[in-house]
Structure 1
Amino acid sequence: ERGLQWLLIQATNCYGNGYDKLPLDQRAAHAREHLPAMLAAAQDPLCDAAQWWMRGENPWQLLACCMEVAAAVRSGNPAAYESRLPVHQDGSCNGLQHYAALARDAKGAAAVNLVPSGAPQDVYSAVRALVEEWVVRDAGAGRSEAAKLLARNGGTVDRKLVKQTVMTSVYGVTLVGARGQISNRLFERGWSNEAEVFQVASYLARLTLASVGTVFANAKGVMDWLAKYAATATQDGAPVTWRSPLGFPIVQPYYQDARTTVRTGLQAFALLDTTATAICKRSQRTAFPPNYVHSLDSAHMMMTAMACSQENITFAGVHDSFWTHAASVDRMGELLRAEFVALHSRPLLPQLVQQLAGSAPHLART
């Protein structure tokens, strides 16, 4: 009976523009307000009354949703209508959800919607607010990068400036990578002086990464511990290996390039030896925290898929976005939460230590 409600929520999620951050009932209400436009779009997407879908952040998905809602409404009995449109349930910065759970970080968990809340929390906005506070402080102290940023950005630091860096921080983005991400956002806004962009982006990248470390202090500790443990695990020259919570064996395939340069009178070219066995310790270390979290993420998806299969619920997934039909969303939501709790109720980090010690015996002495 709540299937139509979820189709309306899906429509608002596709529309975006800030409305997708509202509580669920308000998202459904927003779509109901535009129901005439949705019905018109289903009949003639290009008519004047149907322009609403074109203003959405994901217009083609929104148009598909308009057509499905219209079909359900015009069936005369929406509760009995057999919808085939997938409805998405997306994680809130999923990597940070796993880190917060591993660290038992209550503050971080609240920021990524792992605890009940009247309205959805937005981790990107939380980081943005802290970054803006620091930028305003620095501008008041006479720091030129902060003053330039505020002057060119309407006196604020907006969410889009920091979102990509926050999203990728959990997957090991470096300061150089973060600077490049923020540089791209500045160029998109008309900044043209490359030296100025480099200066401001470097400054903002440092603040953004520091803000993530502040908001998720305990989770950052787990991330750092994983990197240090990987560095210790590779001292014997073997790659980091472990098993996912479902028993899937994982080996990090990062090895040093063995290249031979051949120079001729016309050119030089490199021959790559693909049989090289010496590991790249730096890559082994930096890649392990995000890869370990990916292994937890994939385990959670498989656990949810198996739970849905046992109840004959159609399931599909893309990374941290789980899909099912509108009539099954409520039950899938219960299952994915139950499986996340079941996953993190295990002693995951102690089990990981045992696995790493098994493949690298010297770890047992550390």
Structure 2
Amino acid sequence: MGTEFMMGAENKFSFAAFCLLMRELDLNPEHKVKLPVFLDATCSGIQHLAAIIKDCELAKEVNLIPRDHLDVPADIYEALRTPINEEIRKTGRENASYPNLEYVNLSRSDVKHPIMTKTYKVTLYGVNEQLKDKFRIGKSKIFKVSSINSGETIILRKPDIMKIAEIINKSIFIKYKGLNFIYNYFIEMAKLKSKLGLPLVWLTASGLLLTQKYYKSKETKISLTLAGKTKKLVIRDMTTSLDPRKQNNSIIPNVIHSLDASHVANIINNTVDNPNDFPIITIHDCFGTHPNYMNKLEEIVKLEFVALYASESFLNKFHDRNLQSIEDYGLKIKKDKLLGQDYVIYKTRSKLYIPNIPKLGNLNINNVLKSKYIIN
């Protein structure tokens, strides 16, 4: 009975460790607990983007700041689930090519991964593959999803799943326009620097200078035959030309990961320098410690997050450093007075416009200290 009960756990080893701990506490209430408790951030990628553009509404949706008088955690995945489902069912009603979508009812679990990874620049193809893995029945080519009619399921075709992926992809930016603005800014800056043949550069809050430069590779295919068997190999040689596609696709996840890394480094430094230091385990945006230190860990996580964004604007520093790298290359930046936008002339003598920094909101970053659910 006990074994059968434990085998039903999602993470069997963690649950077994918990059960053993509870047995020890039952035998000895003074037993020292060494099993770590983990606190996980609410979609840390969006938390960082909300702080960068100082978007209050977006910050509330990921528990970065309190939700006014409501003493309950926000859930961005559930908030987006309703409009996503409405758009999917609308498509099924109005588009004869997708009749199966009229009764689709995606769960929070269905939409969570695509939304979470969108902040790390997951492509439309990537979202499509995530959904196929989610809806696939075993190893078959059959895809099923829940229906609005309780207890029923709907069989999906591959085109249906791609359409759902498109809707999820668009819905995120329709509901949260600030994300669209910051996405466009980073991608347009990446495109500009690629056209100029220059890497992207920025300085993290922890003082690390980063340079993003993905180069194109040249492939040479060869075949080797030994003992009647042929083996094909691909040899890749790196060129000196930047790869625009990789530069564009990588800038957002690299910026967010650099900010996450700065946050983690500062948290660790804070505890090491603290006379009452305590053990911490970190996995990206997840922080673990012993139960007695949970409150202290939460306090440090919030303090260091505020420190990341309390002084100079990360976006302004990112912008200025990349413009400086253009001038260091010997190019002049000029102002188009009619459009109010900077530009640079390169090779073809045509104007290459520099993207403007998105308009920032009025988020008071110090309100992060009042948040109960930034990590939970």
Higher strand share: 2
Map 1:32-47; keep pairs closer than 5 Å. Answer: none
Do the aligned partners of 2:89 and 2:101 also contact (CA within 8 Å) in 1? no
The equivalent of 2:185 in structure 1 is: 225
Map 1:252-267; keep pairs closer than 5 Å. Answer: 252-261=212-221
Structure-1 separation of matches of 2:77 and 2:208: 32
The equivalent of 1:273 in structure 2 is: 237
- CA RMSD in angstroms comes to 2.7
| Structure 1 residues 73 and 351: CA distance shift in structure 2, 3 A | farther
| Structure 1 residues 108 and 263: CA distance shift in structure 2, 3 A | same
The equivalent of 2:292 in structure 1 is: 327
Query: Among the aligned pairs, what percent are the same residue?
Result: 24
The equivalent of 1:350 in structure 2 is: 316
Deviation larger for 264-273 or 169-178: 264-273
| Structure 1 residues 52 and 107: CA distance shift in structure 2, 3 A | farther
The equivalent of 1:83 in structure 2 is: 33
Count matched residues: 311
Give the structure-1-normalised TM-score.
0.77
Do the aligned partners of 2:137 and 2:143 also contact (CA within 8 Å) in 1? no
Structure-2 separation of matches of 1:86 and 1:267: 49
| Structure 1 residues 260 and 51: CA distance shift in structure 2, 3 A | closer
Do the aligned partners of 1:108 and 1:215 also contact (CA within 8 Å) in 2? no
| Structure 1 residues 304 and 107: CA distance shift in structure 2, 3 A | same
The equivalent of 2:359 in structure 1 is: none
Structure-1 separation of matches of 2:332 and 2:278: 44
1:241 Cα offset (Å): 2.2
Higher helix share: 1
Give the structure-2-normalised TM-score.
0.75
1:268 Cα offset (Å): 7.0
| Structure 1 residues 269 and 61: CA distance shift in structure 2, 3 A | closer
Q: Which amino acid aligns with 1:352?
A: F
Structure-2 separation of matches of 1:238 and 1:263: 36
Larger RCO: 1 or 2 (CA < 8 Å, sep 6+): 2
Q: Which amino acid aligns with 1:162?
A: V
Q: Which amino acid aligns with 2:273?
A: Q
Q: Which amino acid aligns with 2:321?
A: Q
Residue-by-residue CA offset, 1:266-305 (whole Å, 9 max, x unaligned): 887544324x221112211221111011111110111111
Do the aligned partners of 1:239 and 1:251 also contact (CA within 8 Å) in 2? yes
1:245 Cα offset (Å): 1.3
Do the aligned partners of 1:107 and 1:215 also contact (CA within 8 Å) in 2? no
Structure-2 separation of matches of 1:123 and 1:84: 33
1:135 Cα offset (Å): 2.0
The equivalent of 2:349 in structure 1 is: none
Deviation larger for 287-296 or 52-61: 52-61
Residue-by-residue CA offset, 1:72-97 (whole Å, 9 max, x unaligned): 343233xxx42211111111111111
Structure-1 separation of matches of 2:14 and 2:333: 52
1:142 Cα offset (Å): 5.1
Q: Which runs of 5+ in 1 are unaligned?
A: 1-47
1:128 Cα offset (Å): 1.5
Map 1:1-366; keep pairs closer than 5 Å. Answer: 48-49=1-2, 51-77=4-30, 81-116=31-66, 118-141=71-94, 143-145=96-98, 147-149=99-101, 151=103, 155-188=104-137, 192=142, 197-261=157-221, 270-274=234-238, 276-311=239-274, 312-346=277-311, 347-361=313-327, 362=331, 364-365=333-334, 366=342
Q: Which runs of 5+ in 2 are unaligned?
A: 145-154, 335-341, 343-376
